[in-house]
Structure 1
């Protein structure tokens, strides 16, 4: 068995990863089984560097706020702001404090310095303006979308839809949208109030106006301005939908929320890759918008990128949903590829040497500190005798489910964190 596994194990580099893929995907997703470990981000950074230099990759997108990510993209492409400011304001979830993320942004800026715009690296966040504890106010997205339209379409068309004063009145103070108790107590959410309901209709009208004026707006905007307007529209409608379900009291409330988050992620991933989400959903991938940012390296938790249903426990209850990766894979087929990361030990979190009868235990027996394994070949090698699922003593680490191997292009294995 050890010999067979060794036959499907390679060093983690761009050539080995590309050798596992059936084609050249628009989106190459690299997952991680836990957050907050710079050792895993260092592996990501090195792989991205090689993909840039050897395979022509020009975009990376990570599990961070899509609106904040615009600040990072401006910095790496034009040098706007300072590195300190970008790390402080351009990331959500605390990612800005990561030394590895700082190294990534610094390297991307250095790579872009002096290059023509078409050859510069791009950065994007693909998560919504969401945290596990709540959601942001839709103010930023709504007002930015309104501002884009107000400078480009006839005043009568926009005033019929709404005015800045109308938006401001309905939005009210931002802290009523971000009340920390709302995640666990639906009665504290503003999402089903009369104001929020009217805002959902106005946001839908603004997006409809944006789409209806597409020929004019594309002709009179830069590509980046148009893409950002679409992002503002997706984010505004997504946030208002999310807030609506935060106020729900049904048993499906939490399933709705995690599903909506990954739906927002999926739409952002398709947009970063230059694919029109509606066309892709209808099976018309060939009608995608011009692709100038693909191929893209995607980085997030395995649970957001896997093709199988994702599961977790919240409030003591099991929750299941289709991840962003599952949604995108269903639309793009082989133009989406997924590498899951698995770990041997995280001793500072109490995760010690894996049992030998697990996938992690089999891989841990090898000499490599970091390797990539052909997951489908590994599944074929194991046959019907799949190893037992590993059980983590720490809630923050999600072990690899052996049943998923056949639906993964590769497993990146890091022996010790």
Structure 2
């Protein structure tokens, strides 16, 4: 058995990953089992550089705020803003403080500068995208930025009579932003503004603005740039998704948490499909957002299930979507010690070397009907792989020991 498992393992590089796949997928996703570990992010950077240079990927999409991500994209494509400003304002979840994320942005900008110097076309420039909604752990953003951007784009291009409201009415209905961003609303639905009369009117307005954007596409695509049109569509998706998310924040039924998690991943999936429409994309996020099987999480209300962005995108793209999960052995600074030998991670931990790429389906075949025991993490921030779903991944990157950042 040990020899069979070792035969499925290869050094981590772009060529090893591509050999797992029948062809280059339009959307290649690399997952992580925990957030905030620069060891894993440096490995991501190394692998993504190779995939850009050897396989022609042209967009890197991260699990970060899709609207803030526009700041990063402007910087890497045209040099707008300083690197310090971009790292402070272009990422959500505090991830702009990551040295590895800073390294990635610096490299993407340098890659594009070299492309400009070589006279390569704009189509070969690297692009950046955040594909998460403007959502934090305990709150969601105000829909103001997305709604006003969408309204402003349309107001400049269509007759005022076609708009569902004026900018002044929109501003009045939105009110103060802090009524939307109230952190206590996650635990207390009564603190959410998501089912107020104003929120209900805004959902109708967002729907009408989005429909108007679609109806006027032939005119808008000739009257404005592709970039402006794409950003208006992003604003429309984000406004609609945020208002739906806020609605469920105010809900008191048992469906509340499954719907919140489902709405978030639907926003992620829609953003990924939109980005993939312009060319091949590399994606990085938590395994639970990218896997093909149903995702689960234990919360204060009990276990919650939902379909991940990866499951939704895979259903749409088929073999044009590929998912490589990341598994790990130890995170000793978080109390995660060597895995038990009867777990999937325990079997991989016994392999030589510090990291490897595993052919997940060959490994599942080698294991046969007897699957390893599920690993139980002593730390809530790390999610082990479910051995029952091993074959649902196209591959596994295994990192033996994660060092403290």
User: Which of the five TM-score ranges fits, normalised by the shorter chain?
Assistant: over 0.9
User: What is the Cα deviation at residue 316 of structure 1?
Assistant: 4.3
1:133 to 132, 138, 142: 138
Correspondence list, 1:15-414, <5 A = 15-113=15-113, 114=116, 115-158=120-163, 161-274=164-277, 291=278, 294-414=279-399
User: What is the Cα deviation at residue 219 of structure 1?
Assistant: 1.1
TM-score (normalizing by structure 1): 0.94
Question: Runs of 4 or more off by more than 2 Å in structure 1?
Answer: none
Quick check: 20-29 or 79-88, which moved more?
Answer: 20-29
User: What is the Cα deviation at residue 180 of structure 1?
Assistant: 1.0
User: What is the Cα deviation at residue 116 of structure 1?
Assistant: 3.4
The CA distance in 1 between the partners of 2:188 and 2:209, in whole Å, is: 31
SS at match of 2:184: coil
How far does the alpha carbon of each residue in 1:125-149 deviate from its partner, in whole angstroms, 9 at most, with x for none? 0000001201000000000001111
Structure 2 alignment gaps of length 5 or more = none
SS at match of 1:312: strand
How far does the alpha carbon of each residue in 1:236-259 deviate from its partner, in whole angstroms, 9 at most, with x for none? 000000001111110110111001
User: What is the Cα deviation at residue 155 of structure 1?
Assistant: 2.4
User: What is the Cα deviation at residue 156 of structure 1?
Assistant: 2.3
The CA distance in 2 between the partners of 1:332 and 1:298, in whole Å, is: 15
**Count of residues paired in the alignment:** 397
The CA distance in 1 between the partners of 2:206 and 2:58, in whole Å, is: 32
TM-score (normalizing by structure 2): 0.97
The CA distance in 2 between the partners of 1:257 and 1:238, in whole Å, is: 10
The CA distance in 1 between the partners of 2:392 and 2:338, in whole Å, is: 26
Name the structure 2 match of 1:11: 11
User: What is the Cα deviation at residue 117 of structure 1?
Assistant: 1.6
Name the structure 2 match of 1:278: none
The CA distance in 2 between the partners of 1:7 and 1:263, in whole Å, is: 37
The CA distance in 1 between the partners of 2:339 and 2:137, in whole Å, is: 29
